[in-house]
Amino acid sequence: MASYSLPYRGPGYPDLTAVAAEANRGLAGLAGMQSAAWQAREASAMEAATNRREARKAELAVQSSFLDSARQERLDNIQAARNYAELERTTMQNKEAHLRVQQLQKARAEQEAREQYYSGLQAQNPAAAGPSSCSSLRRPRF
């Protein structure tokens, strides 16, 4: 087989070593840019994951705060209901006590009126008035 040798050197022909070196520099630059892009993409993905994690933590903290607030409000409402029930019970007891006092005062006034009436009768007619205590006419006490 015949071998042909072409003159790759000389005027009008490029220096292929320089071309190869320039191509290698270009490929190395391209590889560097691809590597930098890959590293940037990885860093961006890691930062995005960190941001999502932080956002989720913040969201959970807000939800927890809302839940704590609602729990505290519910406890406050329960305590308010207990306080209101205690107030109602105390008010009812006070009303009952006031009614008992009024009944006792009325009974005492009636008793004093009876005693004055019978003491007046006794003063007018000591023999007709009967016993001085008049215990059979007394009202029962509550």
Q: For 20-36, write each residue's pLDDT tens digit.
A: 888 899 899 999 999 99
Distance, CA of 80 to CA of 93 (rounded, Å): 20
Does residue 126 fall inside a structural domain? no
**93 located within any domain:** yes
Summarised one tens digit per residue, pLDDT across range 76-118 is 999 999 999 999 999 999 999 999 999 999 999 999 998 888 8
DSSP state letters, 47-114: HHHHHHHHHHHHHHHHHHHHHHHHHHHHHHHHHHHHHHHHHHHHHHHHHHHHHHHHHHHHHHHHHHHH
Reduce the DSSP state of residue 31 to 3 states and report it: helix
Q: What is the mean pLDDT of residues 112-128?
A: 80
Is residue 132's pLDDT more than 80?
A: no
Inside any domain, residue 63: yes
CA distance 90 to 87: 5
Task: Look at residue 9 and tell me if it is in a domain.
Answer: no
Examine residue 119 and state whether it is found in any structural domain, yes or no.
no
Within-domain flag for 60: yes
Domain tally, the chain: 1
Residue 51: both structure tokens together: 């941001």
What global pTM score does this model have? 0.47
In a domain, 29, yes or no: yes
In a domain, 127, yes or no: no
Q: Is the pLDDT of residue 39 over 60?
A: yes
What residue numbers bound the domain in which 25 lies? 16-98
